[in-house]
Amino acid sequence: MMNDLDTTRQLVQRGLSSASMELERCIDSAQSTACAHAFTRTWFEPARQQAARPEVTRLPLAGLAVSIKDLFDIEGQPTLAGSVALADAPAAVEDAPVVSRLRSAGATLIGRSTMAEFAFSGVGTNPHYGTPAAYDGRFGALPGPARVPGGSSSGAAVSVAAGAAFVGLGSDTGGSLRIPAALNGIVGFKSTARLVPTAGAVPLSPTLDTVGAITRSVRDAVLVHEVLAARRVRHNPMPLSGWRLAVPETLFLQDLDRHVAAVFERTLHTLRRAGAKIDELRLPETAAVVQLQAGGGLPAAESYAWHRQLLQQRGAQYDPRIRSRIERGAHMLAADYLDILQARQRWIVQMQSQLAGVDALLSPTVPIVAPTLDSLAATDAAGDAEFFRVNALLLRNTSVVNLLDGCALSLPCHQQGEWPVGLMLWHAGQHDDAVLHVGLRVEEALAAAKS
């Protein structure tokens, strides 16, 4: 298992390694077959110059490599959002605020990571720039046929899992950080949306869009969240036994494949043996909220408003599956859109009341292991049906948290020789610090059980 950001920056700051040495390892990984299609663009020489600056060692990110999802503005470059429809877009005049914050914290930007076109897929495939294959960040290359990386932050996850970056900057509208983190055996944190600025990013659904990062560990997630949100996570030394945890019944545990179900149950058993108190909590409201997405929901309506003119001019250049999802928003009435917003707010109030006695909820991040790329390759009607079935399954658990305006962390809970499985810890908005601290204790308990 590769060192995480926190361990590596300590080595750099103690003089036992250097940002330049670590960057060369990342460049080797970025050029390996494991990272095929993980980047749409790399800039190794400018990265070498950044990592060689002696002052970066003293900064929080210590000159270590970070990949940037092709959704965010970088000064002097066009932002293509995984599409060819924006090929002649003008260069950005300044960095997105989150990119600027990463630079100021000492990040070395290594490249733009591949993504599902316009961030509109939980599967992570991209017919324009290629699709990176899932890679297990804990135990190495996955055996057998290539598997989907999850999306939409597909390249961000693979760049971190395969060792090309310590951090992958990404976004999460319905699970786009947590899904690829789960399928690649690493960590993805979706904060309460309002904590991190979304300016300078191509929008999908401004109501739901969240900016965050994929990392190799939970402690890295804490560090990077502090950089992106420009805030300190309040320290809480309480042990795992002191937190009030619950497993939501109904929706989150439905249609689990056998492997995910077995790993999830084993994980709960391991945590209980480590002292965790885990109750069951009935949340029938979570099944009802799925109906808010009927007809495409907020993502379709809000993305269509942004894409309408571009679709008229260059709709033929879109991935047909992405275009069909966006165009569902063309048929939504303004009254229906307002009804969804109001119903969502009522549901958030209900859920906040239901979750008041709990510090964090535990569920599988996604209900299935990563399907093979070949199983979703067909472009006929049957192939489209299978793609959208898988996409809906991958997004089901994670999207509830976005609709809740909540926060969530996905961390790996599988063992060597198993397909990657993510454990999701989540809660309503502004419970970020509790979710992160529970994540730290869970990560420690799972590591102790392995040793």
Burial of 182 (0-12, 13-18, 19+ CB in 10 A): buried
Other CB atoms within 10 A of residue 372 CB = 14
Answer for the pair 67, 155: CB distance below 8 angstroms, yes or no: yes
Query: Which of 17, 29, 67, 152 does the annotation list as catalytic?
Result: 152
**Is 363 among the residues known to form the active site?**
no
DSSP letters along 253-321, please?
GTT--HHHHHHHHHHHHHHHHTT-EEEEE--THHHHHGGGGGGGHHHHHHHHHHHHHHHHHHGGGS-HH
Alpha-carbon distance of 359 to 431, in angstroms, equals 8
Which residue of the set 67, 154, 176, 399 is catalytic? Answer: 176
Determine whether 146 is exposed, middle or buried from the number of CB atoms within 10 Å of its CB (0-12, 13-18, 19+): middle
Neighbours of 299 (CB within 10 A): 25
Strand-by-strand arrangement of the 187-190 sheet: 39-42, 108-113, 65-69, 167-171, 211-215, 187-190, 407-412, 422-427, 360-364, 244-248, 277-281
277 annotated active-site: no
Q: Active site includes 176?
A: yes
Q: Which of 69, 159, 190, 410 is catalytic?
A: 69
Q: Which residues are catalytic?
A: 69, 152, 176
